[in-house]
Each structure stands twice: as structure tokens, then as C-alpha cells.
Amino acid sequence: MGDPASISVRSSGGGPKPSGPSLLACLSCRQKHLKCDGKMPICGRCTTSATECQYTPSRRGYKGPSKKRRANPSSPDQTPTDAPFDPVMDIPHDYGYQSAYGFPSTTTLPSSGSESPGNNFQMVSQPTMQPPAVVSTTPLTPESTASLGGDGYLVDLFYTYFHPAHPVLPPLRMLYRYSPPPYLEQVLKFIGAHYTPAASSEVYRPTVVSNVVDQEDTVEKVQALLLLAVVLHSRNERTEAGECLAKAVDLAFRLGLNRKDFAVAMGGGDSIREESLRRTWWELFFIEGLLSALGVRHSFTMSMVPLEVPLPCEEQIYRDGLCPPSPPTIAQFDDRVFADEEVDFSSFAYRIEAVRILGRVVAIQDLTEGQQDQVEAVDARIASWYHNLPESKTELMRPDGGVDEMMFQARMVVNGAAIYLHFPRSDLLSSPAVAASVICGHSGTVLVPTFTHHTHAMKAIKSASEISNLAATRLPVIRHTPFFICALVLSSIVQLAGYSVKAGQMPDPRRDRLTLTIGVFKSLGRTWAISQTIMRQIKVVARDVLDIGLRPAAEQHELDFTAFLEGSQFWLQDASAR
């Protein structure tokens, strides 16, 4: 090895530059996906090829503050002059020059009737230092700063385990470019704390919701409420989850997130910010659709307005911070089947289509006339969803060994919609074990069949098996959306109902699926409380169906699945409530 001093001189002087990506890349190299040396005014490749060389500020060089820095932002070992510089603004990232997504921290978003929203996105001319974090062991209050001492690693856990399933916020390395407000960062840490025994989410729980609710009306507030709705439902705090979702939906409409030009008007020319704004609307759309089917919301209100917001891009493009292509519309997606050539749409777009199908199933449950035509139409739409998947979307596993989480969820929701459509029209609800235990002593609401009872039953069982197969995907289940728990509940109930008519004669493959499902409940139960409750209930029903083990005490045997799906608009609702 060489002398350390000489190494230092070579790296800081005029000798060879250390290897690694340049903070800047010209447009020509970026479009060709080639490494650019970043030389100004003309890079080496463009000089060689005599190509016009143009630059735009790159976002790929800076990856946000280090874990140590996020954990202790007031650490004395890094002064403001040592802070990493933003290649766009040429100012240290420790300076709070702007609130999240370009909105000045003292400015609220204009109402949907505003004609000139662009004025809200001028950079703050005189940056001011952010206040240091307060080292504390008590829950945060609205008056306190962004973090508890040493908890910055929880943001990394949020991005590792939760963000890929609900990718609304900017990628982690870009998050601090937009200076997330303290209450949003607190929400991320609250969620991240669920994924490690080293922290307690209960430290954040007492104030995490009120801190968000008390803020001014901004997109960041919509995002925080949306994330809270997901995590609170997964904690089995369904009422609070519904309240957060209702506030998020109302605020989204007030701000105008449903307008097709909202992202461009509010994005300030930043493609990542624009994409995040589009994703905020569509993720809220997706979550409201799920919680409407699960009975947390009374109606799928976001599906009742014109769907004008352009569709999100592919996850890889967003994750890498690249400029996405011109976003397509829902109308273009709906017309894809009739196009001469196959058009590429993102996995997120197919996920949106899946929840739209689920919304149609929910909407037809209470129809008194024309239900047969509607059931046949939705059944055809479910089948066509599969037939019209492009080849690139048929495989969930990616070449890198990961899973396309958006397509995973899309399949999960489509199969859940099929269960909601067919199970209440089948004869499976007549199963004594399931009727007595799962639905609190009665057979539930049986809907008039469109096909034969047997056909409905077979379609429901097939969809239930497909959901079980998703659980066998070789990926840590904790990386999937916590709503996968709800899908597994539907799958388990349908399969147990089918098995109960042949108690003691369950084929080994089907029993293996049930064993897998219970194992997934156990794994997810370490993180989400709702999974622990469901696992206990499913085990009791399974013992009845399989006629194995000791019978539990009477008070334990009285299951209450309506506590999980309280207010459901169809088959799991108590008949007296209708």
C-alpha cells in the first residue's frame, strides 16, 4: 500500500480522481444510460462523438444525510460548513430552505379554485438553520421538534419495509432534499418503530395523530394522514384509521389533488415532486377502495369523480430518481385492449385497475334490479384483467430476486374482489362450522346467484387458493403491504367453508395452504396487532373444521369476525344490521 499522505495528496490534488458516479450527467449520456464524466461545459463522451452537450441539475449524486446524521442532527462532529451541498441549490442540506415538495413552510396550498399556484414555489432566498433535535424519552408534542434523540434510523426502517408497498413519498435519498416537516417525519418514525424491537411505537402513538391533524392544510398533511390510516388499521385501530382516511380524502378534494393539472402546477418543474403528487392521489384512491370493501368507509367516494390525474410511472424509474416519461391517463389505460400495438403501463396502473374492479363489486351488492347483468359484467372484467396482462406483468419475481410489489397487490385485490363477488352467491355459507363460529351463529347474507351455486363456489375457492399462493412467494412477508393480512382472512374463510363439508377429509395440498396461511399470520403478528387476533380466530375455526385438538372454552369459541370487518356491506355483516 502507498503512503497515506501521498494518497491524500492524489485524491485532493490534480491527480487521478477517485472512481464513482459524477454528481452531474449530461442529457445525452442520461438518455443513453451511459456513464458521464460530468466535465463542463462539454463532457468527454460528447467531445468524442461531437454531440451537443447540455446539462440539467442531477438528483442522483446526493443520497441524503447519513444514518448517523439523521439519528443525531445536532451532532457536534459535523458543522454547517461540513454539511453536504445540494448540487441544485449549492447550499448545505442542513439549512431549511424549503418545506416538503417545494412548499414554503409558511405558505398553505391554494384552494381548488386558485388560478396561479406557481407563485408558491419560489425558493426561500435567505435560508435559516433548522432547530436541533431535542433528546427526549417522552412522546412528541406539537411544540417539540422533529425527532427523539437517536431515532433517525427509524426513517430507514420505514423506507426498507413499508415504503415499497405504499410508495408515495420521494425516494429516501431525495427525502431530505425537500425538507419534510417534523410531523411527517414523526409519522415515518412511528411506522418504522413497528419493524424493530429496539424501539417502541407506543412512544409516538399518543401524539402522532393529533400532531398531524393540527397542521395547516398541505399535501404533506394528506400524505401523513394517508400513511396513518394504513398503519392504524394494521394495529387493529380501525375507527381511528377510518377517521384519518376521511380527513385525508376531504383535504385532498379541498386542495384539488383530483385535478389533472395539479401535479404540474404544484411541482415547480421538479419531475420527482410531480410524480409524488400524482402518487398521493392514486394511493389515497387505492386505500379508500380497500377500506370501503372492508367496511371502514361507507362508500368509495373517490371513484365517483372524473379520474383525470395521470397515472404513476414504473417503480424502478421512481426509485432511481429518473425523469418519468409523459404519464398516461386512465382513458388511455382503459382503451389499451383495443389498440393496434401493446402499450406499456406501470404496475401501479394495474394495481389501480384492480381496486376499481373491487369498487364495482362493492357497489353492486345492494342492487335490487339488474344485479345479474352487473355480476356477469364484473366477472368478465376480472377474467379479462388476467387475459390482457402483458407478458412483462405476468411474472411477479424480478430478475434481481425481488418481487413486483405493485403487481403482487394487484393480484391480491383482484382475487379478493372475486371472493366478494362469488362467495355470498355460493352454497359455502351453509357450512355449519363456519356459519356457527365465524359469522356469530347465523349464515350471513346470501345473495341471489347469477351462475349456479356450485360455479360461484368454485370461483371463490379458486381465488382463495390464488391468494394462498401469493403467500408462498419467497420474500419476507413483512415487506408486503399489511393489507395482505385482510386478503389472507378472506382466503382462509372461503377455504375453511369449503373444507368443512368434508371435515376430516381435507386433501393434503389444501391443508398445506392453510398451514402456510397460519404461519404468515404468525410472522405478520410480530409487527401488526390485527394479525395476532386473526390468527387466533382462524385456528379455532380450523380445529372445528378439521375436528382436531381440544375444544376451547365457550367464551373463547364465540368468534367475532365482525369486530374485524365491522360494518361490512355484505357477507360478513350481521344480518340484523341490514
For the segment 61-106, what is each residue's pLDDT rounded down to a tens digit? Answer: 444 445 554 445 444 344 333 333 333 333 333 333 333 333 333 3
At 198 the pLDDT is: 92
Please report, for residues 212, 364, 374, 424, 482, the alpha-carbon distance to residue 361 in angstroms, rounded to integers and kept in the order given: 33, 6, 9, 12, 22
Amino acid at 366: D
Interval 224-260: pLDDT, tens: 999 999 999 999 899 999 999 999 999 999 999 999 9
pLDDT of 567 over the 60 cut:
no
**pLDDT confidence of 23, banded at 50, 70, 90?**
low
Query: Which residue intervals of the chain bear CATH 4.10.240.10?
Result: 19-56
At 493 the pLDDT is: 85
**How far apart (Å, rounded) are the C-alpha atoms in residues 315 and 296?**
28
The pLDDT of 476-504, averaged and rounded, is 81
pLDDT of 497 over the 50 cut:
yes
At 292 the pLDDT is: 93
- All three cell numbers of 261, joined, read 393539472
pLDDT of 461 over the 50 cut:
yes
At 547 the pLDDT is: 66
b/e per residue, 64-100, with b = 16+ CB within 10 A?
bbeeebbbbbeeeebeeeeebebbebeebbbbebbbb
State whether the Cα torsion 201-207-213-217 is positive or negative: negative
Quote the pTM value. Answer: 0.71
pLDDT of 155 over the 90 cut:
yes
- All three cell numbers of 265, joined, read 402546477
At 501 the pLDDT is: 56
CB 408 within 8 A of CB 396: yes
Give the least confident one: 68-77, 285-294, 344-353.
68-77
Phi, psi of 373 (to 5 degrees): -60, -40
% of residues, the chain, pLDDT over 90: 41
Nearest-CA neighbor of 463 among 529, 400, 507, 413? 413
Average pLDDT, the chain: 75
CB 548 within 8 A of CB 503: no
Give the least confident one: 165-174, 389-398, 405-414, 489-498.
489-498
Task: Compare 443 and 212 and report the one with higher pLDDT.
Answer: 212
Residues 299, 305, 311, CA angle at the centre, nearest 5°?
Answer: 105
SS3 at position 381: helix
| Assigned CATH for 19-56 | 4.10.240.10
**How far apart (Å, rounded) are the C-alpha atoms in residues 119 and 429?**
59
**How far apart (Å, rounded) are the C-alpha atoms in residues 311 and 346?**
8
Phi, psi of 428 (to 5 degrees): -70, -25
At 49 the pLDDT is: 79
Roughly what angle, to the nearest 10 degrees, separates helices 405-422 and 271-293? Answer: 20
